[in-house]
Amino acid sequence: MTRRFPFLDHRTRTAIAHRGGALEAEENTLPAFAHAVELGYTHVELDVHATRDGVVVIHHDPTLERMTGDSRAIADLDWADLRRIRTHGGNEIPRLEALLEEYPDLFINIEAKSDAVVTPLAALIERMGVVARIGVGSFRQSRTEQLLARLGEKLCWSPAHIPVVALWLRGWG
Residues that are catalytic: 18, 60
The residue type of 157 is: W
Alpha-carbon distance 120 to 103, whole Å?
20
Cβ-contact 34, 28 below 8 angstroms: no
Pick the closest to residue 97 from 63, 62, 123 (CA basis). Answer: 123
CA angle 63, 149, 112 (to 5 degrees): 15
Q: Is 19 left (phi over 0), alpha (psi -120 to 50) or beta?
A: left
